[in-house]
A and B are shown apart, each in its own frame.
Chain A
């Protein structure tokens, strides 16, 4: 494998967003993943979401662990700094990066092996702390990069390509995220761009720990009958609770929906989330309700997708720590070093 730079020729007819960029400005190197891999669709959705949000690519830091999924950040946002860390430990690196500079947008990309198997601990603690970021798990139920072993999200009873049956309980990352204190939890499917792009946009505009569990079929090792993470299975068993529109600026009035069919949730920076209900009684601000709904669906063999949980007033790590408004990495000697006079008083107290 070598790096192939994509030609950056802009077609004049490409539309430009508010910061004058075209969709191409959000792309990265050409993907080396298998043709048809769900991860590539998620990368494309990330490109679309950032373009539509008119984000300056260099204000994004993208971090990942190890796996096919964790390679994906090379294939989008080529003008952003990226960090491919170690297997399962990206959450801590992202936390440290976020502490150093609270002004960047943090995008964590991981796999189900990376987040639910080796990295389950870091994944959980990241959410407990309320790190302001968007964390996307490209969930295929297997370790793609090491050739198809079951991961910890593989459902009990699901069958591997070569016939082995998984006897261990699968971890539901969305439920786990809700329990662990994430303030935005969504689930989607790499094959449903309509649903996925707004969910990514909303996650980025959410000023707290936002988790997206995206089922992303592995065409090489987990797209057969008997897998619960295949394209066919997810299409057939997808139980969407709501549809989301992310509205920048003042939301237009609408009379399309009857009472109780639509909710608008204002976010920071003038973003509004408009939720159109599909499951009539589903309330994403009800933590316990969300958890039991996800579990009920799971017992019925269905996968709940959509915006599953949202805390409209999240408090992030920096708020909890009362850190300076300016990024810590910009502070200089005059702010950080107490100087020789203070040191003299310290010395004096130690005699």
Chain B
């Protein structure tokens, strides 16, 4: 028997449940109660593409140190799904704890002798207490939370408070939940050794004013704050909850108080082609519009994205990435649509991408993308992913400066047209590659033009002349240069010690990277880091790479897509960029990154020694 794992405020609990059994809210209650004790947690939903009956897991990392990335490994397993029992039990770390429903006897062979087993007859308790089948099912979840709260020392007051908030005004439900919790707690007190589990939650003050939110909801709220009035979408995991959250926020904040009228329009389109078409139509007509989708949706949208690029129509596409290609791993996470988004559509096209690291940046970039799309008159992608989008993540509170105004970009008004200002729809008047546009209906006689995906001259007149075409394409390239200084700039962190190694990462890799840097430092390895927040890459990215001998590029795809883009776009020798790729569909971990970078550093040391000798 391995020594039981002992830890205060640093461990991983994994709940194995059956989809549709009502476990989600109980498991969330577990995570939240620990947060209320001032201890950071990061939960992750692991679920199949199924509505009812298939396995689902909820993995909660408790980390007073504040690591919010996935850790890997399981210290305490709450095994509520007989179907996945074997694989779940195998995953448990030696010295870990196996919690299960002991109503039905299990053969000895189902257990491991290097873990501590905690059997509680949950079904028997439920059957003795409830007659209704649904209640038996639902309260079983609360009962196990009750037992766990005793074993892990979770403050019952915190849970009670959460119940109070959740069931405010629903006294019957409140009472029933309290009763179920007490059933579990009483059972534990009466039947279990209080020192059986050596994992403990101890109150701390490491949460601060942070909030606990899903990235999809945050991005949707960013679109509300950024002034989106038109949303067109087609359901696809893991993005659907974004449009649904937009709808819910609009219901609350976007109706005229007197008339009840909606200051927004949401269309569930017939497919992604129609969704992006509507966004482009609305953007062309001067409204702020966005769509949310995932990889397969972007694939369908590509012809339209080229139109918006070439005709210069603002559009925001939020791509909540999942595992590809094709239907791929629809309920797993990846960062594998970077290339297909950056160069979406036929011909020479390039698009602005934003890479939020957490819900807080989903909110910021949601709003910011609408400004950028208007300013640059082009499609802007917000490249989030399932890990950020569909999991609640602890992050800084959302903030809004009330003096902030929407940047509507270069829109020529009727007054300006009347004053005799020259209007050339594709005329670069300011030298930044960005022309002026007019909104349909602006002026009775001036400023109308024809928008098209075919080539045109500076005054929007159809032309197939080679030099006219090149003139326009060069201006578009210049506009993309301009974008470099307008997009969110990368963030650099210097290592504690001088180093010739750098690391570049982006998006949801962020919390794992924070942890990896600490793990590497503990081993005496140092890397300077740069977190990319947008494409096109600002000039500082090239400077950062050139300031290091080797730069690791960490990403969650097979083909090192961003590494390729860095090399191509910035003219960097690929040998300088070392790919670190994680793409099995699970969120990348700090352990993985530290091991991979540490390993490569060892190899590189050997190589440079060899070079020195020969």
Q: Which residues of A contact B (CB under 8 A)?
A: 1-3, 56-59, 61, 63, 73-74, 78-86, 89, 91-101, 103-104, 121-122, 125, 129, 318, 321-325, 328-329, 331-333, 335-340, 342-343, 346-347, 350-351
Contact = CB atoms under 8 A, between A and B. Distances in A.
B206 to A, nearest CB: 14
Nearest to B256: A324
Given A340-B401, A343-B400, A350-B213, A100 B277 contact: no
B54 to A, nearest CB: 29
A321 B209 CA distance: 38
A97 B452 contact: no
B212 A92 contact: no
B277 A89 contact: yes
20 contacts: A3-B462, A61-B440, A79-B445, A81-B438, A81-B449, A82-B449, A85-B307, A86-B277, A91-B277, A95-B267, A96-B283, A97-B281, A100-B229, A101-B285, A104-B440, A122-B277, A328-B229, A328-B230, A331-B227, A351-B35
Most buried by B among A81, A89, A93: A93
Contacts of B278: 92-93, 95-96, 99
Given A329-B285, A351-B211, A58 B443 contact: yes
A333 B405 contact: yes
A337 B221 CA distance: 10
B282 A100 contact: yes
B28 interface: no
Contacts of A100: 229-230, 281-287, 289
B461 interface: yes
A95 B287 CA distance: 12
Contacts of B224: 336-338
B406 interface: yes
A325 B262 CA distance: 9
B365 to A, nearest CB: 16
B82 interface: no
B120 to A, nearest CB: 31
Contacts of B275: 92
Interface of B: 35, 209-213, 221, 224-227, 229-230, 232, 253-254, 256, 259-267, 269-271, 273-287, 289, 303-304, 307, 311, 397-402, 404-406, 438-445, 448-454, 461-464
A86 B263 CA distance: 29
A2 B468 CA distance: 12
Contacts of B438: 81
Given A80-B440, A81-B450, A100-B230, 10 more contacts: A61-B285, A95-B278, A96-B280, A97-B281, A100-B281, A121-B270, A322-B262, A324-B261, A336-B224, A343-B399
B277 A92 contact: yes
Most buried by B among A2, A329, A335: A329
A96 B463 CA distance: 27
Given A84-B453, A93-B281, A96-B281, A336 B212 contact: no
Contacts of B402: 339-340
A57 B444 CA distance: 7
Contacts of A97: 281-282, 284-285, 440
Given A83-B284, A99-B278, A122 B270 contact: yes
Contacts of B461: 2-3
A336 B227 CA distance: 5
Contact of A340 (B35, B286, B400, B439): B400
Most buried by B among A100, A325, A335, A342: A100
Contacts of A333: 227, 404-406
Contacts of A346: 221, 398
A335 to B, nearest CB: 6
A9 to B, nearest CB: 16
Contact of B400 (A3, A73, A81, A339): A339
A96 B286 CA distance: 10
A230 B373 CA distance: 47
Contacts of A2: 461-463
A100 B283 CA distance: 8
B269 A92 contact: yes
Contacts of B284: 83, 93, 96-97, 100
A91 B226 CA distance: 27
Contact of A99 (B209, B287, B405, B448): B287
A351 B212 contact: yes
Contacts of A95: 267, 274, 277-278, 281
A128 B276 CA distance: 18
Most buried by B among A57, A63, A89: A89
Nearest to B457: A3
Contacts of B232: 92, 96
Contacts of B210: 351
A329 B221 contact: no
B271 to A, nearest CB: 7
B229 to A, nearest CB: 4
A80 B440 CA distance: 7
Given A92-B278, A121-B270, A328-B230, A58 B445 contact: yes
B68 to A, nearest CB: 15
Contacts of A85: 277, 280, 307, 453
Contact of B211 (A101, A104, A325, A347): A347
A56 B380 CA distance: 34
A23 to B, nearest CB: 16
A96 B273 contact: no
A98 to B, nearest CB: 8
A125 B269 CA distance: 8
Given A1-B462, A321-B262, A329 B453 contact: no
B534 to A, nearest CB: 23
B230 A93 contact: no
A83 B282 CA distance: 12
A2 B259 CA distance: 50
A125 B262 contact: no
B448 A89 contact: no
Contacts of A84: 450-454
A343 B462 contact: no
Given A84-B450, A328-B287, A99 B442 contact: no
B254 A92 contact: no
Nearest to B276: A92
A100 B229 CA distance: 8
Nearest to B266: A321
A103 B442 CA distance: 12
Contacts of B256: 324
B281 A103 contact: no
Given A92-B281, A96-B281, A100-B289, A86 B453 contact: yes
A122 B273 contact: yes
Given A96-B289, A343-B398, A331 B229 contact: yes
Most buried by B among A2, A3, A61, A336: A336
Most buried by B among A61, A79, A83: A83
Nearest to B450: A82
A347 B226 CA distance: 17
B439 A329 contact: yes
Most buried by B among A81, A92, A98, A318: A92
A89 to B, nearest CB: 5
A61 B454 contact: no
Contacts of A56: 444
A1 B287 CA distance: 33
Most buried by B among A89, A318, A350: A350
B441 to A, nearest CB: 5
A338 B223 CA distance: 11
Contacts of A99: 229-230, 265, 267, 278, 281-282, 287
